[in-house]
Structure 1
Amino acid sequence: MSVLSLDILSTVKKCQLQNGVRHDDYQRYRQYCTRRLKRIRNNGAVEFSHRGQRGKYEKNELTVEMCKNPLFLLIPLMNAERAWGYAMQLKQDNEINGEDLRRTAHMIRRLSKAAKWASKLSDLCSVLGDDRTVLQAEAYSAWMNGNFLLEKDELKEALPLFSQSKEVYTQLSKVSTLEQKELMEEKLENLELVIMYCTRYLSREGTNSQELADMISRSKDSTGLIQSKLAKVMADSMKVQAHEGFEVKLLERAIPVRNEATALLLLSADGNIKTLDSLTSSVEDLGDKEWEKIDNLFVDTFSKYDDAARNVRNDINKADANAASSDIPQEHVVEELKLLRTYVKIQKLDKVIRRNTLLSERLEKQYEDQMEKRLEADIESKLPVTENKKGENKSTKQRQMSPQDLQRMFEKISLNISNQLDLVKEAAKETSASAEKLEFKLDIEQNLVEAKKNFYEAKNFAAAKKWQEALNAYEQAFDSAQEILEGEGRNVFDEKQVEDVVQFQKNAGVGKRLAQARVFLARTRSGTNDEIDNEVESDYVGRPLRERLEENEIGEIVETPPALVSVPARPIMFDLAFNRMQSPDFSNRTKNSPSKVSGSEQQSGWLRNAARGWFGSGN
């Protein structure tokens, strides 16, 4: 069974533009589809008709066994387009002449028929078509079924279909020709409008954002079934590009890649880099699964560059052997191959630096989060334990990050940049081209990496209480950052990177002041005459803390939070005001104790109280 190929989107667009759709004349278009179907059935290469004995109509089902050439695929396509054109004509009549329920029902039936024929086309292409035809048929079927559900106001079911169609066209546009890419971009604009309408309408009707996300994720999951087909289409496109001719640029010099296998490997590596660009747009929001996918892409890219370098090395050996065994000069070919080998090495090192840089950013974030959690744990340990916290398990199995890990990572990045700089200088000599800007950029990047390495080396010394070594490392990091910000190196980075360098300089300054204070305290307590930095002595000796509050950055001066102390639960105000208050005279109301008065006094007191009871209080 032969594989059939049909460019569905181009065929449909061409028929629509030439037969009235650009002028919204859908009646003309559906009549054209009818005539086109008749011509296809009358074609000698197509043995398919509904004519039975004596000219009577007999329904004939189109099967896979019947389809022997691409004309058979046009039968369901033209049937779908004819039914769609009729539905658009009825919808246009409703808009012009007013809403008619009978006409609306007829329109929905036509769209249902168009969706059935589109599904039939997709089923035939899935068995007979090549990969590109299968993907276009699936996108076309999803779009037509989505239109049918949209007119029935079943937007929840229509949204995943439109999203699936958009995803397929988006992926196909990356591996299509310029003409096909323009058609797909136009189709994508229409799909985005429909998806936006469905999303906003569902939100207004009370569908929450989680349900919308689930619908779109279902459509994305369905496209996962066609990822292998998309990979095949992309691979075929790369093969065509590699066969037609492919060249790379090294310091503005074009180097042709004559080996088709090498060109295919380099194109595949470029495809991986484009995928990485889309995945690493927001590094902070990436989870473990995304990082694993990114790392696998980097590993695959490195292997492709290794295979390409192996192919180039073999080509150089063959060229040298041919030069030794023949009189044909091979110096030019060998020179191009050597430049290509240098290009492959530079590209691989560049991607290694990018991977290590992304990894260092992730490790830095993990280290900062770890320090915050440790600070919270220290604060909680000083608070009283409540009943809810007694049963908590604070043990974690996550590996603790140390400054030494980050120091080693930045050492690797610095070594990679140094190797790349050597290769660039070597390439500049071989190509006689200027590489001053690139060399300057690499020097600045290496200085920044060295500064970060010194910063975490200082943290490592500080953890070991080696304050003098920590002070020296902090000073190197601070001076390197200041040199970058004050010199021309600032122009190498964008605004966000410059802000990161400024923040890094502030952190290095804080660490530097803390180390200075620790060194000074160690010298003061020990009473030794060890040499100390003059800056530390001049800044702190003989100056009280009150005079240098604004410049003091030594960290915590007092314990935070302070220890809890029990206080009396009575107002302090009365304690302070008691000595200044004049209390009234209550002697006339004071009762004498029975043990301290005589019997006659008790009797007179009894008579006096009785008289008060008869004649009043007497006050």
Structure 2
Amino acid sequence: MEIESFETQGATFSLDILALTNDARNTYGLRHQDYSRYRQYCTQKVHQLRKSLNFTHGKGKSFQKKEITDIIVNDVRYLQIVLFDTERAWSYAMELKRESRSNGDVRKKHHLIKRLKKAAKCGEQLEKLCSRDSNRVDTRTFFDAQAYSALMSGYLLFEKQSWQAALDKFAAARTIYEKLSKAGSSHQETLCQSAIDDIDPNIRFCAFKLKLGTGSNAGVEDLVKITVGKNKGVGLDLLEAEVESVLAQTRQEKAASLTSISWRGHVVSLKNADLAICILRAREATTNLENASDTDAEEATKMELFDLLLEAYGDAERFAKNAVKEDAEATAKVKSSKSEQISADLNFVYNYVAYNYLSRRIQRNLMLVNSLRLSLENHEHVEEERLVGGKYQDIVKLYDNVLQSLNEISELSAVQNDINLSREIDSKIWYYKAWRTLHVASAYSALNKEWEAILLYERAREYNAQARASLSQLIMDKDDILAVTTKEVTELENILRGQKCKARAAWHIGLDSNLTKRMSELSFDDNSKADINIDNKEEPSLSKRLNQYPSNLSLNNLRLIDFPPEFTSIFAKPLFFDITFNYIDFPSTLSQRAGRKAPTSFGIIFDKIWGAKK
């Protein structure tokens, strides 16, 4: 096997620990869980690295152990020696762990712990050599070595059944890898996520032993937050601050490559570095929010991600507004041939940032509306008017904020100059006005004011009809954050029709003490249980219950009569028995039945020769 050629990189080295270990493990045995082969490879690798550095121990009487210290490290290969020493001890420990499970040998268990102690010691040595005080490696290598050392120490404490200490180490390693996944290339992000997937089962097992999160569906992220919160004084708060500095440095590097912005078919240049960094932060927060939505994360986690996203867009809006203001002041003093183009580009960037900021704010309010709506549906049996009215009042207030944000969007210059976008915003305003009016009407209906509710439901239907008319004239943008489709407008129309029928029925019937509870049990959903019962013919047809008020007001699948009709009993024709059959002598041959004599055998032969007479 050939040794790679290395060059001394001055005072700063870069060692991608995850990439080296991942390639070596997958290539030399661990793809098939062959720890013995991987341990032999690590031994050969260490020997080859020492030989290439002329740093061997010697043989026989000339043996002299050579330790790697801070003084002699002037090449990245010295760090690789320590790394593969750690890997060799760890792979030997995993091999012993498998053997001890198969035959139950206690001695191999002790040998396993000794090997893990060696791996943890080598990991700490690697972390010390890559420390920030030595100024020998770059920032990413420093954090990578710190996470690797914490991971090896966690494996040792896990085998010793020191669950709390092991959980602290695993949480620290996972926190570093999670932060580093956002500050590198796509390949480095994949490696970090793979390391996190390997750490998560250990965290869950430690939490199970410590009885953490047993009463709820606590995820690994929640367990890590609890552990990090308890160990802020141990240094994890400084660790997070240092990792954030690495992320900021990475954003600056990416911001240098972000030279333009594309939005709704227009591309403009971006020259403000601070604004580019804020936009990159917002894009990272958007990616995290989308990942949380795909994994069905908890609402509190989504709210934190929304806050980070709005904070990033708020900073970007502030920088963009200041840039537009400074450009206006400079243009008022001195004008050039490119002044108009520069001002137009800055205004476009400001409109892009403001549109996304307001759209994300609307998205956050709509998520809160859905949460309150679910809470209200779970408390439909509550008869306190104050609680019901308060819930609807909170929902209406959120829709007021949505409409205010939409009005601010409609005042942007880019929206006013784009006819199609302006009509999109108008259709959204009509649509969310209909939803707001629907909840106001529902509040009146909950307070037994059906006539006011009927009028409001009719007003909401008018708003929804305006939204449908606006959507019919639009070319929808598929990448729009708050796209309103014709299907959603139709669903809202069905809800409004059903609620209006429900309120009108309550007004006609008159109010009694149990009416509100009975009316809340009525369903207007096409896929409701009542419709299923109709399809299954568990409820009589409408012709058989004309004197009853229908429990289902849906016009779909309405069964007026039973078809095909059910079988009913009728009078049958009497049976006659033929008792003379056994006393009649029937002819046995066809000739007898025809009234002819039976032919003889000679006659049959002559008939066959000369033919029978017709």
Query: TM-score, structure 1 length as denominator?
Result: 0.61
Deviation at 1:262, TM superposition (A): 0.9
1:317 to 321, 328, 345: 328
1:450 to 429, 433, 445: 433
Unmatched segments (≥5 aa) in structure 2: 1-10, 230-235, 477-482, 512-544, 554-614
Cα 1:57/1:241, change in 2 over 3 Å: same
Residue equivalent to 2:312:
301
Spell out, residue by residue over 1:554-585, the C-alpha distance to the aligned partner (whole angstroms, 9 max, x if none). xxxxxxxxxxxxxxxxxxxxxxxxxxxxxxxx
Deviation at 1:241, TM superposition (A): 0.8
Residue equivalent to 1:549:
549
Residue 254 of structure 1 aligns to a residue whose secondary structure is strand
Cα 1:405/1:512, change in 2 over 3 Å: farther
My pick for the range that moved more, 105-114 or 242-251, is 105-114
Asked if residue 31 in structure 1 is aligned to residue 43 in structure 2, the reply is yes
Asked if residue 80 in structure 1 is aligned to residue 119 in structure 2, the reply is no
Residues 178-257 of structure 1 correspond to what in structure 2 (within 5 A)? 178-191=186-199, 209=214, 219-223=224-228, 225=236, 226-257=239-270
Residue equivalent to 1:511:
503
Distance of 1:439 and 1:222 partners within structure 2: 49
Spell out, residue by residue over 1:334-368, the C-alpha distance to the aligned partner (whole angstroms, 9 max, x if none). 33222212212211221221233233334445656
Residue 459 of structure 2 aligns to a residue whose secondary structure is helix
Distance of 2:31 and 2:371 partners within structure 1: 53
Contact 2:282–2:312 (CA<8 Å) still a contact in 1?
A: yes
Distance of 2:212 and 2:304 partners within structure 1: 32
Cα 1:313/1:117, change in 2 over 3 Å: same
Distance of 2:391 and 2:98 partners within structure 1: 70
Amino acid at match of 1:361: N
Amino acid at match of 2:263: L
Spell out, residue by residue over 1:509-560, the C-alpha distance to the aligned partner (whole angstroms, 9 max, x if none). 43354467789xxxxxxxxxxxxxxxxxxxxxxxxx986823899xxxxxxx
Residue equivalent to 1:565:
none
Residue equivalent to 2:364:
355
Distance of 2:500 and 2:424 partners within structure 1: 23
Residue equivalent to 2:415:
426
Distance of 1:211 and 1:482 partners within structure 2: 45
Residue equivalent to 1:407:
396
Asked if residue 116 in structure 1 is aligned to residue 99 in structure 2, the reply is no
Amino acid at match of 1:333: I
Residue 255 of structure 1 aligns to a residue whose secondary structure is strand
Cα 1:369/1:130, change in 2 over 3 Å: farther
Residue 401 of structure 1 aligns to a residue whose secondary structure is helix
Distance of 1:121 and 1:496 partners within structure 2: 58
Deviation at 1:88, TM superposition (A): 5.7
Deviation at 1:229, TM superposition (A): 3.1
Contact 1:414–1:450 (CA<8 Å) still a contact in 2?
A: yes
My pick for the range that moved more, 293-302 or 209-218, is 209-218
Contact 1:33–1:82 (CA<8 Å) still a contact in 2?
A: no
Bigger helix share = 1
Contact 1:33–1:81 (CA<8 Å) still a contact in 2?
A: no
Amino acid at match of 2:251: M
Deviation at 1:251, TM superposition (A): 0.6
1:416 to 398, 402, 405: 405
Amino acid at match of 2:454: L
Residue 116 of structure 2 aligns to a residue whose secondary structure is helix
Cα 1:499/1:170, change in 2 over 3 Å: farther
Distance of 1:211 and 1:399 partners within structure 2: 28
Contact 1:470–1:515 (CA<8 Å) still a contact in 2?
A: no
Deviation at 1:448, TM superposition (A): 2.7
Asked if residue 337 in structure 1 is aligned to residue 346 in structure 2, the reply is yes
Deviation at 1:270, TM superposition (A): 2.5
Distance of 2:92 and 2:297 partners within structure 1: 51
- Aligned residues between the structures: 485
Residue 260 of structure 2 aligns to a residue whose secondary structure is strand
Asked if residue 144 in structure 1 is aligned to residue 152 in structure 2, the reply is yes
Residues 102-181 of structure 1 correspond to what in structure 2 (within 5 A)? 105-128=110-133, 131-148=139-156, 161-162=169-170, 165-181=173-189
Distance of 2:508 and 2:221 partners within structure 1: 57
Contact 2:154–2:169 (CA<8 Å) still a contact in 1?
A: yes
Residue equivalent to 1:573:
none
Asked if residue 474 in structure 1 is aligned to residue 487 in structure 2, the reply is no
Cα 1:400/1:68, change in 2 over 3 Å: farther
Deviation at 1:180, TM superposition (A): 1.7
Distance of 1:405 and 1:510 partners within structure 2: 23
Contact 2:158–2:166 (CA<8 Å) still a contact in 1?
A: yes
Deviation at 1:467, TM superposition (A): 6.4
Deviation at 1:40, TM superposition (A): 7.7
For the aligned residue pairs, the C-alpha RMSD in angstroms reads: 5.3
Amino acid at match of 2:331: D
Cα 1:147/1:448, change in 2 over 3 Å: same
1:260 to 249, 252, 273: 273
Amino acid at match of 2:268: I
Deviation at 1:113, TM superposition (A): 0.5
Identity of aligned residues (%): 23
Distance of 1:17 and 1:318 partners within structure 2: 61
Contact 2:410–2:422 (CA<8 Å) still a contact in 1?
A: yes
Contact 1:160–1:218 (CA<8 Å) still a contact in 2?
A: no
Residue equivalent to 2:582:
none
Contact 2:426–2:470 (CA<8 Å) still a contact in 1?
A: no
Residue equivalent to 1:592:
none
Deviation at 1:179, TM superposition (A): 2.6
My pick for the range that moved more, 463-472 or 138-147, is 463-472
Amino acid at match of 1:26: Y
Residue equivalent to 2:594:
none
Distance of 2:464 and 2:163 partners within structure 1: 56
Deviation at 1:246, TM superposition (A): 3.9
Deviation at 1:199, TM superposition (A): 8.4
Amino acid at match of 1:240: E
My pick for the range that moved more, 350-359 or 494-503, is 494-503
Distance of 1:424 and 1:484 partners within structure 2: 23
Residue equivalent to 2:591:
none
Distance of 1:153 and 1:480 partners within structure 2: 65
Distance of 1:108 and 1:39 partners within structure 2: 30
Distance of 2:549 and 2:357 partners within structure 1: 51
Residue 249 of structure 1 aligns to a residue whose secondary structure is strand
Contact 1:118–1:140 (CA<8 Å) still a contact in 2?
A: yes
Contact 2:168–2:227 (CA<8 Å) still a contact in 1?
A: no
Residue 390 of structure 2 aligns to a residue whose secondary structure is coil
